[in-house]
Amino acid sequence: MLIQENYSLKRLNTFHINASAKYFVEVNSIDEIKEVLLDKTFINTPKLILGGGSNLLFTKDYNGIVIKNNLKGINLISEDENYYFVKAGAGEVWHNLVLHCINNNYAGLENLSLIPGNVGASPMQNIGAYGVEIKDCFYELEAFHINDKTIRTFNNADCKFGYRESIFKHELKNQYIITSVTFKLNKKPTYNISYGAIEKELELMGIKELNIQAISKAVCTIRNSKLPNPDEIGNAGSFFKNPEINKSNFDPLKKEFPNIVGYDLENGNVKLAAGWLIEQCGWKGKTFGDVGVHKNQALVLVNYADANGSELFDLSEKIMASVKEKFGVELEREVNII
**Is 166 marked active-site?**
no
Q: Could you tell me whether strands 176-186 and 83-89 are parallel, antiparallel, or unpaired per DSSP bridges?
A: antiparallel
Query: Which residue out of 26, 92, 140, 334 is catalytically annotated?
Result: 334
CA distances from 99 to 13, 31, 38, 109 (A): 23, 29, 36, 9
Does 238 participate in catalysis according to the annotation?
yes
* Residue 26 is among the residues annotated as catalytic for this protein: no
Choose the catalytic residue: 216, 238, 311, 316: 238
Dist. CA 58–CA 175, nearest whole Å = 20
**Which of 227, 183, 221 lies closest to 202 in space, CA to CA?**
221
Q: What is the distance, to the nearest Å, from the Cα of residue 219 to the centroid of all Cα atoms in its chain? A: 16
CA distance 274 to 262: 10
DSSP-H helix ranges across the chain: 30-38, 94-103, 121-125, 198-205, 212-226, 247-256, 274-280, 309-327
Question: Residue 197, exposed/middle/buried by CB under 10 A (0-12, 13-18, 19+)?
Answer: middle
Residue type for position 196: G
Contacts (Cβ under 8 Å, ≥6 apart) of 229: none
CB distance 12 to 53 below 8 Å: yes
Q: Looking at 164, 166, 216, 316, which residue is catalytic?
A: 164
Beta bridge mates, 263: 271
Q: For residue 245, what are the CA distances in angstroms to 164, 256, 270, 275, 279? A: 16, 16, 5, 15, 19
Catalytic residues: 164, 238, 334
